[in-house]
A and B are shown apart, each in its own frame.
Chain A
Amino acid sequence: EVQLVESGGGLVQPGGSLRLSCAASGFTFSSYSMNWVRQAPGKGLEWVSYISSSSSTIYYADSVKGRFTISRDNAKNSLYLQMNSLRAEDTAVYYCARDRRYPDGDAFDIWGQGTMVTVSS
């Protein structure tokens, strides 16, 4: 079964750090680009970051650039998001999502169940 499982969420104080992980199974992880997407409580989806299959290309949303770092370990079938200088507005459910290339564009065809990050004192 194709699956993504996030972990690492929790409660952290403003200015603190947290590292999220996403474990992939059921597909050849090293062949796919990956993304992080977040959703604040009661709000819509917000794309956070993208990493290509070989880690050669990385993009960030303006809201997290300079504070978050995406990475992957293809040998461990794992995706990561290092989050530093956390702010209250970073409070959200964080999803990892597989980036699948379709004929005309890339879409997120597999999603994890999400992990909650709460930034509060």
Chain B
Amino acid sequence: SYVLTQPPSVSVAPGKTARITCGGNNIGSKSVHWYQQKPGQAPVLVVYDDSDRPSGIPERFSGSNSGNTATLTISRVEAGDEADYYCQVWDSSSDHYVFGTGTKVTVL
């Protein structure tokens, strides 16, 4: 089955840039989506189709995808960005959705 690997944690100072990676075999050939989940809340879609943002999501959230790694970038990080982040793809070989292992972003 297809596996998506994320770093367990990323720490960043306010105002700096956080980069969260999502590794998968030839992930660059897939469409990657990213979700933000704050404690006790449901996930929220922050990036779809590698790099597009749903309405209401700040421009500070951006994404890229190439080769074996997709990346979610959060610019000018704010305290409110502290959350768990998950990548997701559709694996057509198994007809399964797959979530990444998740990354906890801590704002120092």
Contact = CB atoms under 8 A, between A and B. Distances in A.
A78 to B, nearest CB: 18
Contact of A59 (B30, B84, B95, B100): B95
Interface of B: 1, 30-31, 33, 35, 37, 42-45, 48-50, 52, 54, 84, 86, 88-90, 95-102
Nearest to B48: A107
A104 B99 contact: no
A1 to B, nearest CB: 14
Contacts of A102: 31, 48-49, 52
Residue of B30, B37, B44, B97 contacting most chain A CB atoms (<10 Å): B97
Given A102-B48, A107-B88, A108-B35, A95 B101 contact: no
11 contacts: A44-B84, A59-B96, A61-B96, A102-B48, A103-B49, A104-B49, A105-B30, A105-B49, A105-B89, A105-B90, A108-B33
